[in-house]
Amino acid sequence: MGKIGIIIWREYITRVRNKTFIIMSILGPILVAGFITLMVWLPNADKSEQKIMVIDESYAIRLNKIPDNKLIKFYYPESTLEEARANFYKTDFTSILYIPYDVFTKTQSPVMFCKKTPGFSTENYIRTQLEKKFFEWRLTANKIDPLIIKNSRKPVSVVTKKLNEKGVEIETRNENAMWIGFACGVMIFMFVLLYGMQVMRSVMEEKTSRIVEVIVSSVKPFQLMLGKIIGVALVGVTQFILWVILSTALTGASSSFFLKSIAADVEVMDEQQEQVYKQGSNANFSEFKKANNSMEAMNVFKDLQTINFTQIAICFLFYFIGGYLLYSALFAAIGSAVDAEADTQQFMMPVMLPLMAGYIMSAGIMQDPESNIAFWGSMIPFTSPIVMMVRLPFGVPMWEIVVSLLLLVVGFLFTTWLAGKIYRTGILMYGKKTSWKELGKWIFYKG
């Protein structure tokens, strides 16, 4: 094993054996899967039943009652508002829903009196149902059958297909692709920043502890820098592979669980649709709505199947490595040029700006992935690791990917050469605050 290989192995094995690395490699995917599960479960987490007394002076709701759900029950006692308020705390009702008699003729709004503030889902359900019932009441008052309007409504989905020069249709799923691409870009941004900072701190630690003076007596400064960069890169790749394996296992387990209930609801939807077409309006629309939501979830899974995740994973790995190597060389140069982390601020900004620019550009690129800004952002080495990953799920010609990767390699070679010039001089400089002018001298130093 050569000198660079020894340095790579030391940097790699030191970090891989670190407890923090082991814990985060295992807990990272679990935390992400747990967060997603929590977001799905949280809206239904509150199991407290809501018993709502409805005082309807308009009689619009009494004649067309609000349907109950699993947690919200509506009751319609023969009582006035004054009597209901006076006896409110003597009953087990959680709220009073008051609808004034002139709710349709004046700017009067329904009022809800509560013992405790209801959750957002309860308020949203009541508001949605009141809007629906009032709408139906107005239609009936104008001698229009609400069921005709209800049966006439049908969701429309537009399928976007990209037509290439050979006339081949390629179906695209813009919404899901948009978020997948953005998530990949954000991950590369975070990984490059995280592991690049590790390289910078490692260089600074060896410099401030004077260990580097002993090391450079056996290896060249450039070999030391390159070994550190590659060693930390292998750590990042190892963690990425572990996350992919664990995430795939967790996603497969959760999707198989959720898809069972979704498939059952889709069958209900098919039956309800057939009933609507045959019988007009006798279908159970609450079940139909539930099944329709499940169909939307099933469509999401179908949309995800149209995305080439193999290509995305391979490109993610290459762009992560390329982006990391490009920026970590600059981070290593910064670490060698200063004696304390507080002195890195003046040099960090120019390095961070292109990385931040790629992140900021992503928002606009999600709306127009084939614009000139998107194209050039995916070609410039300093922004391409983020921008290209945002564009990739929308479908990018192979020649653009190849050119982008070649330019990224050229960019890495250039920044490594530049950083090596600074590193070889700065690593042995102590007690002097470095300026941009000083860095310029180190770059052109021929010693």
**CATH number of the domain where residue 91 is located:** 3.40.190.10
Q: Is position 44 within any domain?
A: no
Q: What is the pLDDT of residue 299?
A: 52
Q: Is position 114 within any domain?
A: yes
Q: What is the pLDDT of residue 408?
A: 92
Q: What is the pLDDT of residue 287?
A: 46
Q: What is the pLDDT of residue 256?
A: 59
Compute the distance between CA of residue 296 and CA of residue 308 in angstroms, rounded to an integer: 21
**Is there a single domain that holds both residue 330 and residue 210?**
yes
Q: Is position 249 within any domain?
A: yes
Q: What is the pLDDT of residue 282?
A: 45
For 237-272, b where at least 16 C-beta lie within 10 A, e where not — what string?
A: bebbebbeebeeebeeeeeeeeeeebeebbebbeeb
**Is there a single domain that holds both residue 181 and residue 66?**
no
Task: Specify the 3-state DSSP secondary structure of 283.
Answer: coil
Q: Is position 152 within any domain?
A: no
DSSP 1-18: --HHHHHHHHHHHHHHTS
The structure tokens listed for 77 are 């006692």
Q: Is position 20 within any domain?
A: no
Compute the distance between CA of residue 375 and CA of residue 388 in angstroms, rounded to an integer: 8
**Is there a single domain that holds both residue 433 and residue 314?**
yes
**Is there a single domain that holds both residue 426 and residue 321?**
yes
Q: What is the pLDDT of residue 291?
A: 46
Q: What is the pLDDT of residue 405?
A: 92
**Is there a single domain that holds both residue 198 and residue 114?**
no
Asked whether 53 and 93 are in contact (CB, 8 A), the reply is yes
Asked whether 278 and 310 are in contact (CB, 8 A), the reply is no
**Is there a single domain that holds both residue 189 and residue 249?**
yes
Q: What is the pLDDT of residue 158?
A: 63
Q: What is the pLDDT of residue 311?
A: 76
Containing H/E element for 74? strand 72-75
Q: What is the pLDDT of residue 71?
A: 81
Residue 28 burial (CB count, 10 A)? 15
**Is there a single domain that holds both residue 54 and residue 139?**
yes
**Is there a single domain that holds both residue 137 and residue 236?**
no
DSSP 353-392: HHHHHHHHHHHHHHH-TTSHHHHHHTTSTTTHHHHHHHHG
**Is there a single domain that holds both residue 401 and residue 345?**
yes
Q: Is position 201 within any domain?
A: yes
**Is there a single domain that holds both residue 65 and residue 211?**
no
Long-range contacts of 111-119 (CB under 8 A, 24+ apart): 113/85, 113/88, 115/88, 115/89, 118/50, 118/94, 119/46
Residues 6 or more apart from 94 whose CB is under 8 A from it?
Answer: 49, 50, 51, 52, 114, 115, 116, 118
Q: Is position 59 within any domain?
A: yes
The reported pTM is 0.60
**Is there a single domain that holds both residue 417 and residue 330?**
yes
Full pLDDT tens readout for the chain, 447 residues: 577 888 888 888 888 888 877 887 787 777 766 666 665 555 555 557 889 999 988 887 877 788 888 788 899 988 888 998 999 998 989 999 998 888 777 677 888 898 887 777 788 888 888 888 888 878 877 787 777 777 776 666 666 666 666 666 655 555 566 777 788 888 888 888 888 888 888 888 777 777 776 777 777 777 888 888 888 888 888 887 887 788 777 766 665 555 555 455 445 445 544 554 444 444 444 444 444 444 444 455 555 555 666 777 788 888 888 888 888 888 888 888 877 776 777 788 888 888 888 888 887 787 777 788 889 989 999 999 988 888 887 778 888 999 999 999 999 888 888 888 887 777 777 666 777 777 777 777 765
Q: What is the pLDDT of residue 288?
A: 45
Q: What is the pLDDT of residue 75?
A: 92
Its domain, for residue 75, covers: 50-144
**Total number of domains in the chain:** 2
Task: Specify the 3-state DSSP secondary structure of 148.
Answer: helix
**Is there a single domain that holds both residue 400 and residue 331?**
yes
The structure tokens listed for 315 are 């490109």
Q: Is position 207 within any domain?
A: yes
